[in-house]
Each structure stands twice: as C-alpha cells, then as structure tokens.
Chains A and B, each alone.
Chain A
Amino acid sequence: MGEIIMENNQYIMGIETSCDETAVAIVKNGREIIANVVASQIESHKRFGGVVPEIASRHHVEQMTLVIEEAIKQAEMDFSQIDAIAVTEGPGLVGALLIGVNAAKALAFAHNIPLIGVHHIAGHIYANRLVTEMKFPLLSLVVSGGHTELVYMKEHGHFEVIGETRDDAAGEAYDKVARTLNLPYPGGPHIDRLAHEGTPNINLPRAWLEEGSYDFSFSGLKSAVINAVHNAEQRGEVIAPEDLAASFQESVIEVLTKKTLLAVKEYEVKQVLLAGGVAANKGLRTTLEQVFNELEDVELVIPPLSLCTDNAAMIAAAGSILFEKGIKSSMALNANPGLDIAIHN
C-alpha cells in the first residue's frame, strides 16, 4: 500500500495556566496525546507555603512561549496542521488564566484558526477520554485542591453538578491537615504516604449531611484533626502522625466513596471517572478499585497520575468535543475565575 494521507484527523492544541502549571499539549481526535508539556512552578511557591498569585502570573509570562514551542517540537507539527486552540478560561487564578487566554488568542488570530474556551473541571473529566472512550450516562468524581464535586453527564459536553463541597475542597483539607502535622507544601502526597504507614485508630467525624444529599463538607473534619492534636498536646501526649494521617484519610475516602456509590445507583450510570489532582491519592484509588470491582456493570476509570494533575492534554480533549459541536469563542474571550460548569455546554 502506498502512503495514504488521511486528513480527517483532528488536532487540537490545549493551553492551561489556571494555577501554577504552564501547560501546552496537542491531542489527536480528542483521544490521543501527541505532545504534552507541563512546566511546574511548584519549587518557586514552596517557600511561601502555597501558590502566590502574582508570582504564578509572572512565571506564566516567562514560560508560555517556551512551553508552546516545546509542544510543537514534540509533536513535530506546525500550526497549519492544528485545527483549533483550546484554552482554560476558568475557574482558577484570574491573573494566571489571563496569560493562557491571551496567548491562545494570539495563536488563533495569527493562524486564523478557531479559539475554544474550556472549563477547567470539564478538562479534568475529559482527561479520562485520553485513557478510554466515555460511556454515557456517567458520573465523575472530581477531587482537587479547589474542587470536590460529583458531576453527572448524560452525553458529551453536558455537565450536571449533583453534589459539591459546601466549604473546603478535599485537597484544601489535605493541605491544612498537612500544615497541622508540619508536613511540607504541598501536603497531600505526604499525608497519603504517612497514612499507609499508620493505623486509623483515631475517631474522626464523617460529614454525611442530609439524607440523599451528594454534597460534601470537610471543614468539620479538618477542625477535628486540629483539636485532636491540641488536646493530645495539652495532655502531654503525642499522637503518631501516621495514625492521624491514616484516620483523616479514612474519613475523607469513606465519604467520597460512599456518596459516589449512592449516586452511581440512583443515576444508573455505566461509568465512573475519577478526576482532579487528588485522584493521584493512592488510598482513594485503591478503595475505589476495591469497591467498584464488585459492581459488574459499572466501569471505573482512573487516569494515570500525569493526567490527574493539571495538564493541557485534558483541555485539548475537552476542547475537541466543543470543536465538533461547532462551539467557538471570539477574540473577546476573557478569563473567568468563577466560571460555572453547568452553563458551559
């Protein structure tokens, strides 16, 4: 057979700068990663104990074109082969989002290709489509530093938030508990690691909220952890950090898993997708795998670690669906730090 040039393929460039990662990727047909570049600023923010917005914005300006160039080089492509530029328009840090949005606009304008604004959480959910095809209806458990949500999808591009946190996001609770235990920033991975070395022998609350609610609340749990440490200190005792981490993690995972399971049954979904940075948590992954192993007609999808944390391949994957639907943004696209996923259809 001679060389057949198939030009039916779709190539989307994704750009993501909503927090402290400058990321650019190229995805083929919404499913296949051709290039995926992430420049992390985490080392720079560590000394401040968290992400400093102004410093994040400054880093994005420094990294943006370098990261775009690296992605184009990795893909061995040029812009004449790119069908659209998809970019995170929100939610996130406004100053950080603005860098990606304006770089995306400049690229789309320079090459006269469509610009597509993408919701960051839609991106996290679509990271799963880089692993396996989505089967509707589905449920996505989104857990990250800024979000804890159960999102129901009856078809592509349709998002219904059926439960969300009323106070802290799960990731936030992890960071705060890590600070109480004097663990370095970011604390999540440290708690996860400690939890595996300890025993969950400390009694901590689980916030189930009202009957039938899929909402979450983690601030009570966080306070209970802080109190447990203080009370022990006053009694002159020391709680083993491993045991506290294990007890805290058990509470978070139990609530996340049980609520997901209830929603899976009520909404009769075919698939459960784990999404967001906390999806990198080993304890959560293992528990979900155990629970869903027993359910025959529900498929659990957990993306590899590199696709759970912020990246641009997920933005390109989500943008691919909008591109197919003919949804485009104009040159007036703005960064929207409080963007709502439900109206983003």
Chain B
Amino acid sequence: MKILAIDTSNYVLGVSVIDGEKVIGEYITNINKNHSVRVMPAIEALLKDVDVKPSDLTKIVVAEGPGSYTGVRIGVTIAKTLAWTLNIPLVGVSSLKVVSATVGRYFNGVVSPLFDARRGQIYTGLYEYSAGQIKTVIQDKLILSKDWVQELIERDKQILFVGNDLPLHRSVIEEVLGERARFAEITELNPRPSELALLGKDLEGVDIHHFTPNYIRLAEAEAKWIEENKNKC
C-alpha cells in the first residue's frame, strides 16, 4: 500500500509517500515560487528516490483547500488526473486540517489553523483531538480575524494557533484572547504532507471526475453577479 500525498494549496509545497505504516519520503519547501513548475519534478524525484513507480501507487491524497485558488487547482488537477489514469482512489483533505493535525495531537485544547485571505480576513476552522482522532469542531470558513477571536472568546479551553501567516494576525489574537491563546513554533507551521497522507489513508475514495477544490469563496465575478441579480427573478 503506497500513498502519494500532494499539497500545493499555499506557499508550502509538500509531497510525501507513505508505505503501510511507514513514511518513506517527504519533501517540503516554504517559499513563494511557482508550484506549477516545481511540483511534478518534486513528485518525480521523490518517487525515484524511494523506488516507487507511478503504477505502484495505491491511493492519492490531496490537500483540497482552502488556500490560493491557483495553488489548490494545480494540486487537485494533478491528483485527479493521476488517480483517474492509474485507476486508484482519490481522497481530498482540508488544507487547514492538515496543518492542525500534527500540532494538535498531544495538545490539550482546540486548534485554530489559519491562512491569510487578505483585507484582515483568514481561512480558519476549529479542530480537536478526541480518542486519538482529529475532529472538526467548526467547519473551515472565511472570516475577519477580529471577528474570529470574538467567536472563540466563549471557549474555556486553550486555543493553539498554527499557520505560516500567524505573524499577520498574532496581535489581534493576543489582544482579545490573551493567555488562552498559544502559538505554534516555526518548526510546526508548515503542513506536513505525510500527515496529509495519514489523514487520507483510511478514507474512502471520492468520485474522481466530480471532485473539486474547496475554494470556500465564490469567484468574484460570480458573487457580484448573484448580488446584482438577487432581486430579479
């Protein structure tokens, strides 16, 4: 059983292969450089290094978003095409869940992952481990970081914040949540593609053709069109 996991949903480019109970290869960069140019060479090099042929793969797991629209589409397009043409299952996992899973495993409290979404907004959600499994407490969404911290103020547990865009929102969080807010260390901010593979390992495959990224947001033109046409019938 060899699973290939692909994450190109943000600046982090991650590729991993797990074989049964073992992570046999993992590649991560966190730079603002073209995913479209780099991800297939990364997959090619990693598979070669760990002696896995494309035809040996038994499953593809992809980070489905939220994140950069273009970034997510690159990963999802490759994942869909590989899974379809190799005739193996495809699984999508929330990009926010991936970055939460590693830091949350031994943390007593809830995890709030975040990706910056410009103009004070973030993509976030709330996750918590129970019985060794990561559970979604609040679904991934787009929200102003200042509104998000208000939503969290009622919670009695410690909240661990994680994500490479933390510095952009840290002061807003600290101001409102004070001591209840914890922040992950820089070594824990990159989503790990091996974690992505593990999260998707036991999930059932989706309908490959109809699988789409989770953009969370409508395309701007579409949102505008709906706004302009909502009073017409």
Contact = CB atoms under 8 A, between A and B. Distances in A.
Nearest to B60: A106
Interface of A: 47-48, 52, 54-55, 57-58, 61-62, 64-66, 68-69, 79, 95, 98-99, 101-103, 105-107, 109-112, 330-335
Contact of B84 (A52, A68, A333, A335): A68
B71 to A, nearest CB: 10
A57 B209 contact: no
A331 B44 contact: yes
A159 to B, nearest CB: 25
A111 B37 contact: no
B221 A105 contact: no
Given A55-B219, A65-B81, 4 more contacts: A106-B85, A109-B54, A111-B54, A335-B36
Contacts, number: 103
Contacts of B85: 68, 79, 106-107, 110-111
A332 B37 contact: yes
Contacts of A103: 77-78, 80-81
A61 B54 contact: no
Interface of B: 34, 36-41, 43-44, 54-55, 69-70, 73-74, 76-78, 80-82, 84-86, 208-210, 212-213, 215, 219-222, 225
Query: Chain A at the B interface: mostly helix, strand, loop or mixed?
Result: helix
Nearest to A103: B81
Contact of A98 (B54, B73, B220, B225): B73
Given A64-B81, A106-B78, A109-B54, A330 B41 contact: yes
A176 B20 CA distance: 59
14 contacts: A52-B222, A57-B70, A61-B73, A65-B81, A68-B84, A69-B209, A95-B70, A102-B39, A103-B78, A103-B80, A106-B77, A332-B40, A333-B37, A335-B36
Most A Cβ at <10 Å: residue of B36, B44, B210: B36
Contact of A331 (B41, B73, B209, B222): B41
A62 B40 contact: no
Given A47-B225, A65-B81, A69-B209, A109 B40 contact: yes
A66 B81 CA distance: 10
Given A61-B213, A65-B208, A98-B74, A106 B220 contact: no
Contacts of B86: 110
Contact of B210 (A48, A62, A69, A109): A62
Nearest to B41: A331
B40 A64 contact: no
Query: Chain B at the A interface: mostly helix, strand, loop or mixed?
Result: helix
B78 to A, nearest CB: 5
Given A57-B70, A57-B73, A61-B76, A331 B81 contact: no
Contacts of B78: 102-103, 105-106
Contacts of A65: 80-81, 84, 208-209
Contact of A106 (B38, B82, B215): B82
Q: List 9 tightest A-B contacts by C-beta distance, closest first.
A: A106-B81, A331-B40, A54-B219, A52-B221, A102-B77, A103-B81, A65-B84, A105-B40, A110-B54
A13 to B, nearest CB: 11
Contact of B221 (A55, A102, A331, A332): A55
A64 B69 contact: no
A85 to B, nearest CB: 10
Contacts of A48: 221, 225
A106 B208 CA distance: 15
A334 B73 contact: no
Contacts of B73: 57-58, 61, 95, 98-99
A74 to B, nearest CB: 16
A48 B221 CA distance: 8
B138 to A, nearest CB: 26
Contacts of A66: 209
B212 A98 contact: no
Given A62-B212, A64-B77, A65-B80, A106 B40 contact: yes
A61 B109 CA distance: 37
Most B Cβ at <10 Å: residue of A47, A99, A102: A102
Contacts of B44: 109, 331
B222 A55 contact: yes
B228 to A, nearest CB: 10
A58 to B, nearest CB: 6
Contacts of A62: 210, 212
B221 A54 contact: yes
A95 B219 CA distance: 13
